[in-house]
Structure 1
Amino acid sequence: MARIIIKKGHNIQISGVPSLDLVNAGQTVSVAYLPEEFRYIKPKLLVNEGDTVKIGTPLFFDKKIPDVKWAALGSGKISAIHYGQRRVIEKIIIVVDKNEETLEHAYYDHQEITNLTNDQVKDQLLSAGMWPLIRQRPFNKIANPRDLPDSIFISCYNSAPLSVDLDVALRNRRSSFQAGITALSKLTEGKVNVVVDENCTSDTFKDLQHAETHLISGPHPAGNVGIQIHNINPLTPRKVIWTVNVQHVVTIGRLFLKGIFDPSLIIAIGGPGVKNPIHLKSRMGASIQSLVTDRLHDVSHRMVSGDVLTGSTVDKDDFIHYYNSAVASIPHSDKRTFLGMLHPGSSKSHYSLTHTYFKFGTSTFPFSTLQNGEERAMLPINTWENVLPMDILPNQLYRAIIANDIEEMEQLGLIECDEEDFALCSFSCPSKIDVGNVIRQGLDMLEAEV
């Protein structure tokens, strides 16, 4: 067991933190896949518009690795398939039936799962269309089932602002969580590393079998799996590590215990634009409309699928993304403070980046979309270094990427990075540089070379 203390970072104090109450969102009218959110794949459809599908029916597969399929998130009729330029599949929408049906697979008890082989676990996940739940580092892409990972990481600490509370998400789900860990342990000759908040009191993470539990404390991004990998089992050029979202471990466990793909998901609805921030029981791919109806203040706002640092802008007609478990509403604003530079620090309605450098106060603030300026000349004054808890030189790495110097990127440790780990660098940057986006550009270049 490792005990990790993260000192660099910052907890952004946004108002509208979801309460710990859990409410059933009811059945969503429709669900959808957005194939473009899956990096480096070439999707090919297995269904047509108008087809009727069950939960778990394969909808499309990756032409690069044909065994990897995506299972339907709802039972009903495929109402629309949207295409972009060059016939790129943008969206697959299913109108959900009132009485849903689910494809069935083999199921086991806990002891039987313990006795399964690597191939049996792999075949079950692939045939159920659930393999995309497993991602790999480097590049944070869907894992290749032909690889043997050095280890598997599960982050059980959500440190990002307005993210789902895992005590709520895993309430009464210990059996499925343990089954998921046991199944995942068959996919590696190394360890399944479960990283838990040191202050967590949930019984779900106690005395887990077939896994090694680590404790972590500190501000965001302590909960990012990339930070945890960096501190426990750092990546090297030839090493592959797999990662799984904590709620998806439960989904995998239910596949083996019940023989079905259960896409249910606990989703946090929060932010200054939400009337009553709360946790909802819904499902993967649910429509945003079904989650936020009658829950938003009557103001202009920006909807975000995912946490506010790394999520994607959506509107009410969109759908929550495959790997997301939060929806946030942030009010729009273009109202600048006159001579704001002369008023450092925070007020009752204004949050200052001073908090990023000096830790004080626990008040929350009604954040808006206002950036207080646009991208400008780069100021290397250690703002990125103050919030990045990695042994990496972000300034030099950024310069290597914009210079397209692949060899320099590798030497500076790009292979250990993901854009979510640099989100606070973007937030705190006085030059308004989207550092995370540049990191992704570098990873894309490096992946193309590989």
Structure 2
Amino acid sequence: MSNDIKIRKGLDIKLKGVAEKTISVAPRSKKFAIKPTDFHGVTPKMVLKEGASVKAGEVIFFSKYSDRVKFVSPVSGTLSEIRRGAKRRILEVVIDADAEDTFMEHGSRDISKMSGEEVKEHMLEGGCWPFIKQRPYDIIANPEEAPKAIFVSAMNTAPLSADVEFLLKDRLDDFKLGLEAISKLSSGKTHVSVAGGGSGLLDGISGVELHKVNGPHPAGNVGVQIHHVDPINFGERVWVVGPEDVAIIGAFFRTGKFQADRLLAVAGTEAPNAQYYKMRIGSNVLDLVGKIPSSVRIISGDVLTGDQLANNGFVGYYHNVLTLIPEGKDHRMFGWMPFMDNHIPSMSRTSLSWLFPNKRYKVNTNLNGEERALVVTGEMEKVMPMDIYPMQLLKECMASNIEKMENLGIYEVAPEDFALIDYTNTSKIEAQVIIREALDLMIKEVG
């Protein structure tokens, strides 16, 4: 069954530097890292100490709040360093990799003969559970709870994002196995969203409800799809899994090994080679793309929601794109004047970019303004394809008014749903930060 979803509000930001659809095998990193900061709300409890030998798939730490949620090493080697920040908070667990991996063996499984509880326990033991995230709150799912539905967004509309069909074309069997596995975790439906007008690679998948989505960014955001298919009410839970993560789960059941392989799209105008690389979760950026000058911003993820990295940093756990764009250090004379900002895509008619809807632009990190107290009425709603009032919700989030936040739809949103508001609104407020802090407050006060 296929259900079409048409998104009308939003904005496609067309940038230069799209990754070519060619695949290279990246040089094996000498160092890998698992970053607890990638798992929002998780306080890690270490299982291994510095100097310990570790196998690929062996538990490194678990969540303080649920010892069933385990985080495992992507490679075999030696746990060389536990990097800490303020108040001894663990920032990175660094592993010096062996030349070849030795895996923890969990044994292959026939999913068709397993119950939902057996599938869950096997995933928890094998370290696959962190791939499952929960809405509301955009955190790792609680294995003690049951979702009303599971969503997989097999499309991405963010600027310079990886092509999901290209990521999955050689992993389709594992993707189907993974879907079969996660479908057993819920008594509700498993929804898979694909881009309308795509190649049809996933059209023949059975056992799921398929949705073809058309429209500008953020049509590919899973939160937008949930809103249009099965909105979240108070007390309900929906689980979300990334498409490549589904394939990793499928491979785990097929082989009994945690093989954390990804295709990484290296994109952006400053990328040495804008193409796809076969790599392992937690790879070192320096080993992937070499030495990058300080005049370039390295972003793990897309330009709207990604994390800034140093050249010796590590790719984020959930990211399948590494974006490189120029740092915006230059100031333009009379940049405040109309029609002076024609080198970037904009929703404002003060730029001429609207006359060239298919043109691709080279952008930098300049904000082209500073935070202002003035908020333009109706501006945010143009890029928010949900039936909520984003400006009013942000105001109540800033005021920590829980009751009004609930009434205005806080349970349906995640920070990424406000990324376009960060980009387009003239007030330059950090909407994603405001929403994240509000969601953290809801976890604390409501649970």
Could you tell me how far apart the structure 2 residues matched to 1:143 and 1:245 are? 13
Q: For 1:252, which of 249, 270, 276 is the aligned residue?
A: 249
Q: For 1:390, which of 370, 386, 389 is the aligned residue?
A: 386
| Structure 2 equivalent of residue 431 of structure 1 | 427
1:359 shift after superposition: 7.5
Larger mean Cα displacement after TM superposition, 16-25 or 79-88:
79-88
Could you tell me how far apart the structure 1 residues matched to 2:345 and 2:308 are? 22
| Structure 2 equivalent of residue 318 of structure 1 | 313
Secondary structure of the corresponding residue to residue 67 of structure 2: coil
Larger mean Cα displacement after TM superposition, 354-363 or 410-419:
354-363
Matches within 5 A, 1:4-43: 4-43=5-44
Q: 1:345 to 1:190 in 2, by over 3 A?
A: farther
Q: 1:77 to 1:441 in 2, by over 3 A?
A: same
| Structure 2 equivalent of residue 334 of structure 1 | 329
Could you tell me how far apart the structure 1 residues matched to 2:374 and 2:251 are? 49
1:104 shift after superposition: 1.0
| Structure 1 equivalent of residue 203 of structure 2 | 206
Larger mean Cα displacement after TM superposition, 272-281 or 61-70:
272-281
Q: 1:180 to 1:306 in 2, by over 3 A?
A: same
| Structure 2 equivalent of residue 68 of structure 1 | 69
RMSD (Å) for aligned C-alpha atoms: 1.6
| Structure 1 equivalent of residue 230 of structure 2 | 233
| Structure 2 equivalent of residue 264 of structure 1 | 261
Could you tell me how far apart the structure 2 residues matched to 1:140 and 1:128 are? 22
**In the TM superposition, what whole-angstrom CA distance separates every residue of 1:34-57 from its partner, at most 9, and x where no partner exists?**
112212222100000000101000
| Structure 2 equivalent of residue 218 of structure 1 | 215
Q: 1:249 to 1:393 in 2, by over 3 A?
A: same
Matches within 5 A, 1:111-126: 112-126=110-124
Could you tell me how far apart the structure 1 residues matched to 2:124 and 2:256 are? 13
User: What TM-score, normalized by structure 2, do the two folds share?
Assistant: 0.96
Could you tell me how far apart the structure 1 residues matched to 2:256 and 2:203 are? 26
| Percent identical | 35
1:373 shift after superposition: 1.7
Q: 1:75 to 1:359 in 2, by over 3 A?
A: farther
Could you tell me how far apart the structure 1 residues matched to 2:354 and 2:384 are? 15
Larger mean Cα displacement after TM superposition, 189-198 or 161-170:
161-170
- Residue 441 of structure 2 corresponds to residue 440 of structure 1: no
| Structure 2 equivalent of residue 151 of structure 1 | 149
Could you tell me how far apart the structure 1 residues matched to 2:69 and 2:174 are? 23
| Structure 2 equivalent of residue 89 of structure 1 | 90
| Contact map agreement 1:344 1:354 (CA 8 A) in 2 | no
Runs of 4+ in structure 1 deviating by more than 3 angstroms, as ranges, are: 349-353, 355-360
| Structure 1 equivalent of residue 271 of structure 2 | 274
Could you tell me how far apart the structure 1 residues matched to 2:111 and 2:389 are? 44
| Contact map agreement 2:7 2:214 (CA 8 A) in 1 | yes
Could you tell me how far apart the structure 2 residues matched to 1:60 and 1:210 are? 34
Secondary structure of the corresponding residue to residue 80 of structure 2: strand
Could you tell me how far apart the structure 1 residues matched to 2:314 and 2:88 are? 21
Query: How many pairs are equivalent?
Result: 443
Q: For 1:381, which of 374, 377, 390 is the aligned residue?
A: 377
| Contact map agreement 2:346 2:354 (CA 8 A) in 1 | no
| Structure 2 equivalent of residue 58 of structure 1 | 59
1:14 shift after superposition: 1.4
Q: Which amino acid aligns with 1:142?
A: I
Secondary structure of the corresponding residue to residue 68 of structure 2: coil
Gaps of 5+ in 2: none
Q: Which amino acid aligns with 1:247?
A: E
| Contact map agreement 1:2 1:215 (CA 8 A) in 2 | yes
**In the TM superposition, what whole-angstrom CA distance separates every residue of 1:323-346 from its partner, at most 9, and x where no partner exists?**
111111110123233223433276
Gaps of 5+ in 1: none
| Contact map agreement 1:299 1:331 (CA 8 A) in 2 | no
| Structure 1 equivalent of residue 445 of structure 2 | 449
Could you tell me how far apart the structure 1 residues matched to 2:272 and 2:93 are? 31
| Contact map agreement 2:60 2:72 (CA 8 A) in 1 | yes
User: What TM-score, normalized by structure 1, do the two folds share?
Assistant: 0.95
